[in-house]
Chains A and B, each alone.
Chain A
Amino acid sequence: MKKLKLVMVGNGMAGVRTLEELFKLEPDLYDVTVFGAEPHPNYNRILLSPVLAGDQTVDEIVLNSWDWYRDHGVTLHAGKKVVSVDRARRVVHAEDGTSAEYDRLLLATGSNPFMLPVPGKDLKGVIAYRDIADTEYMIEAARVHQHAVVIGGGLLGLEAANGLMLRGMQVTVVHVAPWLMERQLDETAGRMLQKSLEERGLKFLIGAQTQELVGNDAGRVTTVRFKDGTEVPADLVVMAVGIRPNTQLAESMRLHCERGIVVNDTLQTVTDARIYAVGECAAHRGIAYGLVAPLFEQAKVVANHLAQFGIGRYSGSLTSTKLKVTGIDLFSAGNFTGGEGTEEIVMSDPFGGVYKKLVLRDDKLVGACLYGDTTEGTWYFQLLREGRSVQDIRDRLMFGESNIGDTGHQGQSKAAAMADDAEVCGCNGVSKGTICKAIRDKGLFTLEDVRKHTKASASCGSCTGLVEQILMATAGGDFSATPKKKALCGCTDLSHQDVRKAIREHHLLTRRQATDFMEWRTPDGCASCRPALNYYLISTWPKEAVDDPQSRFINERSHANIQKDGTYSVVPRMWGGVTSSQQLRRIADVVDKYQIPTVKVTGGQRVDLLGVKKEQLQAVWRDLDMPSGFAYGKSTRTVKTCVGSEWCRFGTQDSTSLGIALEKALWAMYSPHKVKLAVSGCPRNCAESGIKDVGVIGVDSGWEIYVGGNGGIKTEVAQFLVKVKTADEVLEYAGAFLELYRGEAWYLERTVHYIARVGLDHVKQRVVDDEASRRALWARLRAALDGAADPWLASRKADVDLRQFIPIVAVTSEGVLA
C-alpha cells in the first residue's frame, strides 16, 4: 500500500512530540517531511534560559538529534521557511523553492515575540528573546557591552534579565504593569520577587512606559526614553512583552484564525479537516497555550487522530508556572487572584521570604500562588486538577501533604534541597542525581517517561510526588503533569471510569466485546488493562460474565503467591485467626513431606509456607485439607481478631465469633484491590482495626465500624462510618460498604483512595442514610458470592486451569503428549 504523506511546518517541541507520539502508534503509516525555519534539530526551548545563564550549552538542550530524523525516515528541511501552501493542489512551498505534497498537513508554527511598536525598534541591538539565534546574540552582546534593558517583567523577561546579569551586564527591567509577573503572581508575591531580584543586582522601573529607543549614527541603540522624559542607557534592548501565535502562513492559506489558528477538539483546523494545528500557534476553545504541558497533551491527541484511531479528544488544560531562576522559588496555578465566591487561605512571612495563598471555591482548591517555598506546589496542582473536595483536610491544607499522613517520605519532601546522592525511590534504589541526569540527558518531560527510564516511583508509587517535584525543578515549571483524566493504559485513551461506565451501560460481558466496543488499540490489551477489564466484567455482571484466568495475574491464576525464585507460597485460611492441633499437625506434616524451606507466621494471623514448587501445589493443598487463604488475591484477605469477651478480662464483645462470621461471609469476594478486615472486642483495639479497610471495634453498647484504613505505603487511619448494635448489622453495613467499593472503585484502588475520590459523605449516604440502598448492596454481594467454590478444595468447580501444574516432560525422542 502506498504510504500517506504527512508534512509538518515547524520543527519545534509541540510538532516533533506529535511525530514521536505518532511513531509510537503507527510508525509506518506516513512518509513524513518536516520544514523548520531554524537551522537546528528540535531543541528544548524552555532551557534557553539556563543556556543564557551559562548553566547549559546549546548542544545539551537538543531533544532530537539529526540521527533521530534519519532513523525514523523523516525528511528534514532545516533552515527552510515555508512561504506558501496551495490547499487545492496540497503542496507546500518553501522560500528556497523546495516543495512537498501532502495528504495531511500539520501546522506547528509556534509563536512570534511581540515587538513594541515604538520608534527605534529596528535599531541594531534591539532583539526579542525566542530562539537559539537570539540567545547567542545576547551572549555575544554581554561579552562586549555593559548596559542592558529588558522590556517586560514577565517570566521570559526576568529569565533573560537574570541570564544577562550573570554574564556581567548591568540590567534594568522595564515593566508597565504595577507588579512583576502580574499574570502569574498576586501583588504580594510580585513585590517579594522584585525585592529578592533587586538584592541580586537587577534594577526595576515599574510602571514605566517606553516612548522610544534612541540610536547612534551607526544605527545601534544607545538609550531607552520613557514617556515621563527619563532615560536609561542601553547597548542591548530585549523585548519580552509577550508572544503572539504565528498565524501568518495560516492566514495566507485562508484558514480561520482568531488569536491563533482555530482548531476543534481533535486539533483539526475548522476550515480544512486535512490540516491540523498543534502547539502555540493553535487556538483551542479561544485559548492559545504557551506552556509545554498542554502542548504535549495536544500532541497526543493529534497523533491519535493521525494514526486513524480517532478516539482522542483534547478538552483544554490547566497550567502552572515556575520561574527558572536559580534560588528563587515561585509557583502559581489556576485562579490565584480569587474573586467573588472564593475564599482565601493566606500565610505570609515577608521577612522570612515566604508567602503562600490558596484559593478555594465550593470546598475545592481552584488556585495557588506560592513564593519562597514551593515544596507543595505539585501537590496543590494535583488537588487542583483532580478537583476533589478538600473540606476534610482544609485545616491542614496550608501545611502540606506531609502533614496529612505520609510516613514514608515525611521530612524529606523538599526535592530541591536534596543532595544528588539522596535516595528518592526506596523500592528501586534510584537517587535524585540519577533522575536529574536522565531528565536532562534524555529530554524527559513526563512522569511516565521518568518511570520508564529510571524506574523511580514505578513500584509502590509512594515517591511519585517527590519525583514530580524533581521533574518540575529540573525540566522547568512547565513539565508535563499527569493529565487530569488518566487513561487506563496505553491501549486506550479511556479512563477507568469511562470503561466501568461502558461495561455497565452497554451490558458488555466478555473482554473481546468490551475492547471491540471501546475500540482498543491492541487486539489482546496488555498486562495492565487485562486484569482491570476482567475485574470490571465479573464485578459488574456476576454469574453472567465469565472469568478469564489468562487475564489474571499469575498469583490469582495459580492460587498461590509467586516468589523471587519462581516457587510459590501457600497460606491456608484460618477463620478469624483461630486454629487447632489437627490443623497445625497437618501443616507440620506437609512441611516435612514436601520439604518446605520456610514457615512463617503472617501479619494476618495465619501461617505462610514458602518455597513450594508449582508442580507440588495441588498435592500440598490436598494434604493440608484447609481452604485457600486467598493471600494472593485482589480479594478478601483476612479478618484479624482479638480473643474478645470469651477470654479477655477486658473484653466487652465476642470479636472472634464476629470475625469468623465476617470471613465466612466474604471469603470468596474479589475486589479492586486487597481487602483486610479486623474486629476488636474493646476500644483497646488489639486487632488494629484503625488501619484496616473495614475495622470493627466492640464497645459496651454495640459495634463501631471504621472504613478506609491502611497500614501499607502510607499509613492511613480509618474513618468512622457508623455505630450499630448487633453482629448481624455489622455484616450488613460492612458488606454494603464493600459492595459499593467493588462496584465503584477503579482497579487497584484501595478503599482509602476510593473514599478520598468519592468522599465519605457519598459512602455514608449509600450505606448508612439510605436503608434501601444498603439492603440492596448487601443482597447483591451475597448473590454474587453465593455458590462460589474454593479453588483449593474444589479446583475443578472453581475453574482453575489444572494444566498449569503439570510440566511437559521432554525426555524421550518420541515425546510425551500431555
Chain B
Amino acid sequence: MSDWQVICRVDDIPVLGARRVARAEGLDVAVFRNADDQVFALLDRCPHKGGPLSQGIVFGTRVACPLHNWTIGLADGCAQAPDEGCTPRFAVKVAGGVVHLDSGELATHATDLPRPVAGPCAESAAR
C-alpha cells in the first residue's frame, strides 16, 4: 500500500523541465514534466557519470543529461542505445494537479548510490 506524499503542483514544474526533490537520505529525486503534462520521477543521477538529470533538456519522454548528452528515457530510466545503463525510477501519482511521490520509496529507494565528486579532494573523497 503506497503512502503518497504531496510534493508540489504540476504547475510548479516548468513545462519541458524538472524540479529537484531533496531527501533526508540519498541523492535528490528529479521530477520531470513534459509537453503533455505527464510527470515522471527518476533518481537525479545519470547512469553514465552521475550527472544531475534534472538539469537536462527535456523532449518527448526523454531527457538529455547535461554532462555528456546521454539520452535517458523518463518512463524507464534507461539510456538510449547504444549507450547502456539505467537510473532508478520512482512511482508518481498526479491527482488534482498535485504531484505525489511514495514516501516509502523516498525514504529507502536507491539511497546507497554515490554522489559524483569533483575538486581538489575528489580523489580522497572517492576512496
Contacts and interface: CB of A to CB of B under 8 A. Distances in A.
A818 B57 contact: no
B71 interface: yes
B96 interface: no
Interface of B: 3, 5-9, 12, 14-17, 19-24, 28-29, 31, 34-35, 49-52, 55-60, 64, 66-67, 69, 71, 82, 100-101, 103, 106, 115-122
B6 A527 contact: no
A816 B99 CA distance: 11
A551 interface: yes
A809 B7 CA distance: 8
Contacts, number: 126
Given A554-B66, A801-B14, A808 B21 contact: yes
Nearest to A563: B118
Contacts of B58: 524, 550
Contacts of B52: 562, 566
Contacts of A531: 57
A327 interface: no
Interface of A: 452-453, 522-527, 530-531, 549-551, 553-554, 557-558, 562-567, 597-598, 610-611, 801, 803-804, 807-811, 813-818
A524 B59 contact: yes
A562 B66 contact: yes
A554 B20 CA distance: 14
Contacts of A557: 55
Given A550-B16, A550-B58, A567-B118, A452 B82 contact: yes
Contact of B119 (A452, A554, A598, A818): A598
A391 to B, nearest CB: 37
Contacts of B120: 597-598
Contacts of B121: 597
Q: Which of A522, A550, A610, A816 has the most CB of B within 10 A?
A: A550
A811 B24 contact: yes
B23 A565 contact: no
B60 A522 contact: yes
A546 to B, nearest CB: 14
Contact of A817 (B6, B56, B60, B64): B6
B49 A562 contact: no
B119 A550 contact: no
Contact of A807 (B15, B28, B71, B106): B28
Contacts of A810: 5, 7, 21-23, 29, 101, 103, 106
A565 B35 CA distance: 28
A551 B56 CA distance: 10
Contacts of A818: 8, 12, 19
B17 A550 contact: yes
Contact of B14 (A553, A597, A803, A816): A803
Nearest to A491: B59
Contacts of A610: 119
Nearest to B12: A818
Contact of A550 (B15, B19, B49, B100): B15
Contacts of B15: 550
Given A551-B57, A564-B116, A807 B22 contact: yes
Given A554-B57, A807-B28, A818-B8, 17 more contacts: A452-B82, A524-B58, A526-B64, A530-B59, A549-B14, A550-B16, A553-B66, A562-B67, A565-B117, A566-B52, A566-B116, A610-B119, A803-B19, A804-B19, A810-B5, A810-B103, A817-B12
